[in-house]
Amino acid sequence: MGLNLTQKIIKKHLVYGSLNPGQEIGLRIDQTLTQDATGTMAYLQWEAMGLPRVKTELSVSYVDHNTLQMGFKNPDDHKYLQTVAARYGIVFSPAGNGICHQLHLENFAAPGKTLIGSDSHTPTAGGVGSLAMGAGGLSVALAMAGEPYVLNMPMVVRVYLDGKLSGHAGAKDVILYILQQLSVKGGTGRVLEYTGPGVLDLSVPERATIANMGAELGATTSIFPSDDITRKFLRLMKREQDFRAIGPDGDADYDEHFSVDLNGIEPMAARPHMPDLGIRVSELDGLKTDQVAIGSCTNSSYSDLKVTAQILKGGKVHPDTDLMISPGSKQVLKMLARESLLGDMLDSGARLLECACGPCIGMGGSPISKGVSVRTFNRNFEGRSGTQDAQVYLVSPVTAAHCALSGSFTDPQTWGDPLPRAQLPKEVPSIRDLFVFPEDNSRAKIYRGPNIVPLPRFEPLPKMLELPIVIKCGDNISTDHILPGGAEITALRSNIPAISEYIFSRIDPGFTARIKKAGQGVILGGDNYGQGSSREHAALGPRYLGIRIVLVKSFARIHRANLVNFGILPLTLVNPEDYEILDQDQLLSLNVSSIVPGKDSLISLSSGMTINVGNDLTDNELVIIKLGGLLNYVKNKSA
């Protein structure tokens, strides 16, 4: 049998391992990206390795998350990032250039390249045929050091697209439909590889939208072939030299198959508070909307915002609805301005925000109490908007624009004739001159503000653990639940002692006091624990507070890797029904020396009972955890 696209790229970059699903592999990484909310910690970890210069083909440091400069913390972090980039050979993108994934798609992503980024939506670059994966900041730092990126070989799912989109349906509706069918854990341990005649109906920005939200499926990544549509996109970006045609062999084998008929896709929405709670927009007819927000790395391209402007033209935003629009990059903004599309938006009453993540991560733009917020974003977890009781719906830009004008959801059959899906203009302005490209500046002084605190040192795992369950969580706990976002908390990403005070603060305000009193503890969770953002602080903070074990029914991929990176044992309940007999404050005992990779172990309860716990650890991962984390492992290996 031939190779699929995913296998082709992995085979070319394989440092060790095989293409057999589930086996540990090490991949050579061509490109890395970071953003400012995760990047500061990643570069502190990079500095701890003591290397003179990055070893990747390309590493880019973007500033797009913490752009609200309330006080010194965020500006200090941005200055730190800029000086680190100058010192170590990293491209720097300052605040205002745009959102990292939109910018990387426009300027750097290339077919056949491997890319990891300290942001879970890094798979956006799969829209041009890049094998792009979200990862923890420490994994990114190691990749910059030339170390292979370690993961289990994923299964490859062939997503066969047939037909063509019609009516008011768009790419966002496709991925919302797939989420409805497969669920937020349906992609775990898998790469979604898109094939079929329907692929030819999708532009690169549309492909990128679908690949972007593959993260919400829990997928390792999503990828499209690189074809003539890709070549046209790269030519418009003045990067045709980066093009290479790459796709699956005609007789390629896949582990699983899933089909989507694009002809049948209708405008969709994801209901609160999970991206897989899909419903047809027509079924929401009449639901009042207090706020509409259009943007994010999912839907802030020129194509998305041109159709938004066309729908808004000549109309007025409903007086009871607040409309905010965030362009994905200054390139997008320049194209909109050149075609007078910004005027149509502004004349409608829309608010134009900075080219940044903004409301998507709770960085301003919060809805009113109990308000209905309609967003073109990728996540609608409870409280993520900054308003705990808000009801957030995820939709396409077309649906969002109609909601803004009507002040409510309406049946798409009342929207009139659908507009043509927007294509890029023949001439696309470049903003490459707004990036700071590195020179040989090895003596550049690194700026460190007072909020940048040195990395905590973690001791090795003891041979015996006796510790209490300090919190019992349910299913689908996201990294937003573990460590909330928003302006106040995200500004502390370079200060682990300070940010740790907010662990589980929105769902259990007494958590930090309880773990501090206990000194160490266990987190108990349900299925898909740690879904969502790649923020490693959701592992770092608990470890700093004394968490040594996370015991759940199942893990999300990136968070599980982050737990290993910081020396926390990720264990699973062999018998899921044992979850019911475990409670907060219950004391557990574990002989760490009894743990064997891939084998079950026994945990003793204070009641005298025992339960079986499993793990999917590799030999290396177990050594990393026992040494207290990946940085200790690397230092020990070097020594």
CATH number of the domain where residue 168 is located: 3.30.499.10
Of 239, 264, 289, the one marking the end of a domain is 264
Q: List residues bridging with 91 in a β-sheet.
A: 60
- Write out pLDDT tens, residues 229-261: 999 999 999 999 999 999 999 999 999 999 999
Residues 253 and 272 in one domain: no
Residues 255 and 279 in one domain: no
DSSP string for residues in 356-413: S-GGGGTSS-PPPTT-EEEE-SS---TTTTS-TT-EEEE--HHHHHHHHHHTB---GG
Please indicate, yes or no, if residue 594 is contained in any of the structural domains: yes
Q: List residues bridging with 467 in a β-sheet.
A: 588
Residues 120 and 171 in one domain: yes
Residue 340 buriedness (CB in 10 A; 0-12 / 13-18 / 19+): exposed
Q: Kindly tell me the sign of the dihedral angle through the C-alpha atoms of 154, 158, 164, 169.
A: negative
Question: Could you give the 3-state DSSP secondary structure of residue 26?
Answer: strand
Q: Let me know how long the chain is.
A: 639
| Per-residue confidence (pLDDT) for residue 443, from 0 to 100 | 78
Helix axis angle for 630-638 and 137-144, nearest 10°, is 30
| Per-residue confidence (pLDDT) for residue 639, from 0 to 100 | 65
| Per-residue confidence (pLDDT) for residue 589, from 0 to 100 | 96
| Per-residue confidence (pLDDT) for residue 363, from 0 to 100 | 87
How are strands ordered across the β-sheet holding 278-280? 278-280, 268-270, 391-394, 372-375, 291-294, 322-325, 351-352
Q: Are the C-beta atoms of residues 109 and 77 closer than 8 Å to each other? A: no
Question: 209: which 2 tokens?
Answer: 């939208």
Measured CA to CA, the distance from residue 19 to residue 151 in angstroms comes to 12
| Per-residue confidence (pLDDT) for residue 560, from 0 to 100 | 95
Question: 505: which 2 tokens?
Answer: 């603060």
Residues 276 and 231 in one domain: no
| Per-residue confidence (pLDDT) for residue 48, from 0 to 100 | 87
Number of domains observed in the structure of the chain: 3
Residues 154 and 288 in one domain: no
Question: Could you give the 3-state DSSP secondary structure of residue 98?
Answer: strand
CATH number (domain holding residue 580)? 3.20.19.10
Residue 182 makes CB contacts below 8 A (sequence gap 6+) with 217, 258, 276
Please indicate, yes or no, if residue 450 is contained in any of the structural domains: no
Please indicate, yes or no, if residue 453 is contained in any of the structural domains: no
Q: Kindly tell me the sign of the dihedral angle through the C-alpha atoms of 573, 576, 581, 584.
A: positive
pTM surpassing 0.75?
A: yes
Q: How many other C-beta atoms lie within 10 A of the C-beta of residue 475?
A: 16
Measured CA to CA, the distance from residue 515 to residue 505 in angstroms comes to 13
Q: Are the C-beta atoms of residues 39 and 137 closer than 8 Å to each other? A: yes
CA torsion angle for 451, 452, 454, 460 (degrees, to 10)?
A: 80
Please indicate, yes or no, if residue 306 is contained in any of the structural domains: yes
Question: 206: which 2 tokens?
Answer: 């549309």
| Per-residue confidence (pLDDT) for residue 509, from 0 to 100 | 94
Please indicate, yes or no, if residue 152 is contained in any of the structural domains: yes
Angle at CA of residue 619, ends 615 and 622, nearest 5°:
60
What residues in the chain have per-residue pLDDT under 50?
Answer: none
Residues 615 and 547 in one domain: yes
Of 217, 245, 264, the one marking the end of a domain is 264
Please indicate, yes or no, if residue 240 is contained in any of the structural domains: yes
Please indicate, yes or no, if residue 544 is contained in any of the structural domains: yes
| Per-residue confidence (pLDDT) for residue 491, from 0 to 100 | 82
Please indicate, yes or no, if residue 429 is contained in any of the structural domains: no
> Could you identify the residue written with the tokens 């650890």?
617
In which domain, by residue range, is 603 found?
464-638
Q: Are the C-beta atoms of residues 365 and 353 closer than 8 Å to each other? A: yes
Residues 411 and 471 in one domain: no
Residues 310 and 208 in one domain: no
Measured CA to CA, the distance from residue 377 to residue 56 in angstroms comes to 31
Residues 273 and 257 in one domain: no
Of 349, 383, 415, the one marking the end of a domain is 415
How many whole angstroms from its chain centre is CA 149? 17
Longest dimension (CA), the chain: 73
Residues 528 and 591 in one domain: yes
Residues 204 and 276 in one domain: no
Residues 116 and 95 in one domain: yes
Residue type, position 142, single letter: L
